[in-house]
Amino acid sequence: MSKTFIEKIAQKLRIIPDLDREHTSGAKQELRKYPAIEDWHDHKELDANEWPKKVEKNYSLVPTTCFNCESACGLLAYVDKDSGEVTKFEGNPHHPGSRGRNCAKGPATINQIQDTERILQPMKRVGERGGGEWEQIPWSQALDEIASKIRTSLKTGARDRVVYHVGRPGHEGYTNRVLKAWGVDGHNSHTNICSAGARTGYALWHHHDRPSPDHANADVILLCSSHLETGHYFNPHAQRILEGMMDGAKLIVIDPRLSNTASMADHWLPTWPGSETALFLCWARMILEQGLYDRRFMEEQVNWEQWMEAVHPSEERTIDRFIELLKEEYSEYTAEFAAEECRIPVEQVIEAGNIVANAGSKLCTHVWRAASIGNLGGWQVSRSLHFLNVLTGSVGTKGGTSPNSWSKFKPELFNVPPDPEGWNELHFPREYTLSHFEMSHILPHLIKDGRGSMDVYFTRVFNPVWTYPDGFSWIEMLQNTEAVGCHIAMTPTWNETAFFADYVLPMGHASERHDINSYATSSGKWVAFRQPVLREFARRQGEEVKFTHEVNPGQVWEEDEFWNELSLRIDPDGEMGIKQHFRSPYREGETINIDEYYQYIFERIPGLPEAAQAEDTDPLGYMRKHGAFLIEEATYNKHEEEGWPTPSGKQEFYSPTMIEFGYPEHSIPHYRIKSHVHPSKLEGDDEYCLLPNFRLPMHIHSRSANAKWLVEIAHRNPIWIHPKDAENLGVEEGSLLKIETEIGWFVDKVWVTEAIKPGVVGCSHHIGRWRRKQDAGNRMMTNTVSIEDRGDGKWRMRTISGIEPFESSDADTNRLYWRDGGVHQNITHAVQPDPISGSHCWLQKVKLSTPAEGEEYGDVEVDTARSFAYYKKWNHWAKERETHPRGERRPLWMKRPLSPRQEYWFIDEEE
């Protein structure tokens, strides 16, 4: 298209770029591709801040990986060679998972490291815990004092009183090795507010507890999602979903909310929360009735004979008879039944069902958080979804869904200490026999129930006071020094949990730490190296660095070196048997250093030594240079060599484990549990289902609160409500609504939208951050609140002021124009531990009303006495079915992170 006179003048004056000229010039060529890896230590580009002058800058580009979600996409840090500072992050094209691309949170890492309010020094509490007063201390003091407390605890012989509780993991076994060296069953995680429900459903089938969908090669992509593709594996999956769709794949999204993914779908099915199992079993029936099942896969890979023997012993033992019996077994799941349960048109059930039924081996399915973590019995969702893959023979195939462990690299460590001699009852209480993983969300309730306490409690990049349900019970636990002897918060940024710590230790963001990453983000297997980029830059410049905190901002450290140094101080003379696990495998009698730790792992990665040699370097040098390595192009059909790691060695359609552990009605996939938010359980016109477990794609739970680019995009969390419901309730856009949960209430504003199913209201649980007057940090996204302890478990939170601009060394902090920081809803949620999977059931049954006089936007009230009573009710459901065949606490074949020695898996009858 020809240009206007004004455009031509503007181009000449360089007000707008001259794309015609740049298309043919070398300069534009450079802009259109990543810099060549040979030039990474000597990269030149023009300084945008100097425009229109052409001032060249010199950079060293250092690869690392993003730390803002689990995907660990590749990043390239641009280190300004003159200032020695990181100035921006872009994608690393050598990373096989992300292939040079990132979501908004990747490049926003620069906001996190330049955050003017981040924690830069180790700090120790002054005054009472939670009082908000701190003093800076040196690392040596922090290490000595914490080591002394751990030593005292270990010397009592206790194996469960020193605990490491991780929010954002991603270090592939590093800390578990340390905990084993200390001899404690002390690993706790966030998994049971996240993926425990889905994991249970998958594990029942084949022990592998996560799916790996091959989106790029699928014919049909079926996502059950309220969170997926904007959270876990967001960018790596999103790019492959688009590739699949460009090749003709159909996208079906099951979600009561029109998510970004649903908005791109060929079919969006806004099912009632918790009804998904009914839908999938209906589609299973359609596959069977239409004869579209993979007979060979079923016959060879599924334990159908075991089911026939146990349930139909007099029937002919053939696959054809089995199929006939299956049709009878699932005959109740008609399209009409599914439509009724899901509250969607029957035509939609049939239309999407036909697409799924005809997908064959290229049916690619995924559920991660979403319905499987939302509902009582949510684990049935993944179990019934995987049933569709089993029926169509799309397990482990190209374009199908594989176990994620096939694509995940497990490092070989230089030293593996023995398994702990003990069992932590606070993490795996005996009544939750099938829980995946630790029962972390009821930790305060278990302690209140008199079932244990902790001497030393590390929270690592973990903020349960804010992210977990019933945060006031967490505050009560953390304020109680009898329950938690010493609380150490390891975090790069301030958070609501760190306010209640004894020590706050500044940990590194993505470019300030070592980690090893490997995730099943595609059909291949890769490993990536998160490295502290200024340390690598120093090495390239010929400088020696002993500890990473020497080059990081302030005194920011990394956990790896911290754990090593702490361990040596717990056992300085080696008498406790800890020190021996920290000896270098390369230098006799010396302590291992961080380079040697990773060198040992990289030397053992298949194919990496050869690739390194071809570039005239060693494996560590290769990973420092490239940041990632592709171990296997694709990992299909591994079961042909490895089989299935279940008791039967088959895909377990029929689970004897469920029978043995007291749940015979769940021996095969069925829709036997109605969600706690099933329409039949909602009473009156004012009761609704609250859908809180969805993520806005630009936020992380805690650490994005001062990432200014991300906060500017989203900083408030209104209530999504359908126009029909708004009309019934007499509210309109911006009106206030009071949302009453089982344990309290909050007041939020309304967003009227057709993007939510009628009868369901939504509210993202990633916004609503707060701090009290005495607390520091995160002023870009936190309201200032007052917290009132009114006695007898009654708590009130009020917003004193919203977000305000502030002076700092970053001029942008004085330009904040948003005032509304949203509302903290999670703190009003009751804990709802699923008796089987152990996962928290995020969806809440709520009453909606107009706030009374005096009740204002942002108000929160909670009664922790009520929350404890409510916990007891749910806990009872697990207790009444508690069964321990052969004395096993839980099935021996199921996973447990940081497994104790096998004898501790059995209940000691004398206990």
Binding site for ligand SF4 (CB under 6 A): 66, 68-69, 71-73, 98, 102-103, 105-106, 234-235
Which lies closer to ligand SF4 via its Cβ, residue 73 or residue 339?
Answer: 73
Taking the complex as a whole, the smallest distance from the CB of residue 231 to ligand SF4 amounts, in Å, to 8
Distance, CA of 169 to CA of 898 (rounded, Å): 14
Distance, CA of 175 to CA of 163 (rounded, Å): 11
393, 504 in Cβ contact below 8 A? no
Which lies closer to ligand SF4 via its Cβ, residue 57 or residue 237?
Answer: 237
Taking the complex as a whole, the smallest distance from the CB of residue 748 to ligand SF4 amounts, in Å, to 26
The b/e string for 444-472 (b: 16+ C-beta within 10 A; e otherwise) is bbbbbeeebbbbbbbbbbbbbbbbbbbbb
Which lies closer to ligand SF4 via its Cβ, residue 93 or residue 106?
Answer: 106
* Residue 277 CB partners (closer than 8 Å, separation 6+): 377, 380, 381, 383, 384, 669, 670, 671
Which lies closer to ligand SF4 via its Cβ, residue 89 or residue 499?
Answer: 89
Distance, CA of 842 to CA of 748 (rounded, Å): 18
Taking the complex as a whole, the smallest distance from the CB of residue 102 to ligand SF4 amounts, in Å, to 4
Taking the complex as a whole, the smallest distance from the CB of residue 243 to ligand SF4 amounts, in Å, to 16
* Residue 782 CB partners (closer than 8 Å, separation 6+): 705, 769, 770, 771, 803, 821
Angle, CA of 284, 229 and 759, to the nearest 5°:
70
Taking residue 397's Cβ as centre, other Cβ atoms within 10 Å add up to: 24
For residue 106, give the nearest of 98, 114, 118 by alpha carbon. 98
Q: State the chain's maximal CA–CA distance in angstroms.
A: 92
Which lies closer to ligand SF4 via its Cβ, residue 229 or residue 255?
Answer: 229
CB burial class (10 A; 0-12, 13-18, 19+) of residue 616?
A: exposed
Which lies closer to ligand SF4 via its Cβ, residue 72 or residue 570?
Answer: 72
Taking the complex as a whole, the smallest distance from the CB of residue 100 to ligand SF4 amounts, in Å, to 11
User: Which helix or strand (DSSP H or E) is residue 61 part of?
Assistant: strand 56-65
- Beta pairing partners, 746: 739, 860
Strands, sheet with 74-80, edge to edge from the N-terminal-most edge strand: 43-46, 56-65, 74-80, 86-91
- 3-state SS, residue 13: coil
For residue 863, give the nearest of 791, 793, 786, 790 by alpha carbon. 793
Which lies closer to ligand SF4 via its Cβ, residue 98 or residue 784?
Answer: 98
**Hey, what are 814's tokens?**
């004085």
Taking residue 730's Cβ as centre, other Cβ atoms within 10 Å add up to: 8
Which lies closer to ligand SF4 via its Cβ, residue 106 or residue 692?
Answer: 106
Taking the complex as a whole, the smallest distance from the CB of residue 93 to ligand SF4 amounts, in Å, to 14
Distance, CA of 442 to CA of 874 (rounded, Å): 11
- Which phi-psi region, left, alpha or beta, contains residue 316 (left: φ > 0; alpha: ψ -120 to 50)? beta
Distance, CA of 769 to CA of 825 (rounded, Å): 10
**Beta pairing class for 211-213 and 267-269:** unpaired
Angle, CA of 702, 706 and 711, to the nearest 5°:
90
Which lies closer to ligand SF4 via its Cβ, residue 233 or residue 598?
Answer: 233
Taking the complex as a whole, the smallest distance from the CB of residue 109 to ligand SF4 amounts, in Å, to 8
Taking the complex as a whole, the smallest distance from the CB of residue 73 to ligand SF4 amounts, in Å, to 3
Which lies closer to ligand SF4 via its Cβ, residue 69 or residue 594?
Answer: 69
Taking the complex as a whole, the smallest distance from the CB of residue 764 to ligand SF4 amounts, in Å, to 16
Q: Where are the beta strands (DSSP E) in 404-460?
A: 454-460
Which lies closer to ligand SF4 via its Cβ, residue 231 or residue 422?
Answer: 231
- 3-state SS, residue 503: strand
Taking the complex as a whole, the smallest distance from the CB of residue 101 to ligand SF4 amounts, in Å, to 8
- Which phi-psi region, left, alpha or beta, contains residue 535 (left: φ > 0; alpha: ψ -120 to 50)? alpha
494, 778 in Cβ contact below 8 A? yes
Which lies closer to ligand SF4 via its Cβ, residue 105 or residue 757?
Answer: 105
Distance, CA of 746 to CA of 283 (rounded, Å): 39
Taking the complex as a whole, the smallest distance from the CB of residue 29 to ligand SF4 amounts, in Å, to 26
Taking the complex as a whole, the smallest distance from the CB of residue 576 to ligand SF4 amounts, in Å, to 38
Peptide bond into 280 cis (omega under 30): no
Distance, CA of 628 to CA of 144 (rounded, Å): 36
Which lies closer to ligand SF4 via its Cβ, residue 65 or residue 651?
Answer: 65
Which lies closer to ligand SF4 via its Cβ, residue 417 or residue 492?
Answer: 492
Which lies closer to ligand SF4 via its Cβ, residue 239 or residue 405?
Answer: 239
Q: Which DSSP string do the residues of 249-312 spell out, in sequence order?
A: -EEEEE-SB--HHHHT-SEEE-PPTT-HHHHHHHHHHHHHHTT-S-HHHHHHHB-HHHHHHHH-
Taking the complex as a whole, the smallest distance from the CB of residue 561 to ligand SF4 amounts, in Å, to 23
Distance, CA of 17 to CA of 9 (rounded, Å): 11
Which lies closer to ligand SF4 via its Cβ, residue 258 or residue 528?
Answer: 528
Which lies closer to ligand SF4 via its Cβ, residue 221 or residue 363?
Answer: 221
Which lies closer to ligand SF4 via its Cβ, residue 73 or residue 269?
Answer: 73
Peptide bond into 236 cis (omega under 30): no
Taking the complex as a whole, the smallest distance from the CB of residue 237 to ligand SF4 amounts, in Å, to 9
For residue 260, give the nearest of 104, 398, 65, 109 by alpha carbon. 104
Distance, CA of 83 to CA of 669 (rounded, Å): 61
Taking the complex as a whole, the smallest distance from the CB of residue 621 to ligand SF4 amounts, in Å, to 25
Taking the complex as a whole, the smallest distance from the CB of residue 69 to ligand SF4 amounts, in Å, to 3
Taking the complex as a whole, the smallest distance from the CB of residue 526 to ligand SF4 amounts, in Å, to 13
Q: What is the amino acid identity at position 837? A: S
Taking the complex as a whole, the smallest distance from the CB of residue 240 to ligand SF4 amounts, in Å, to 12
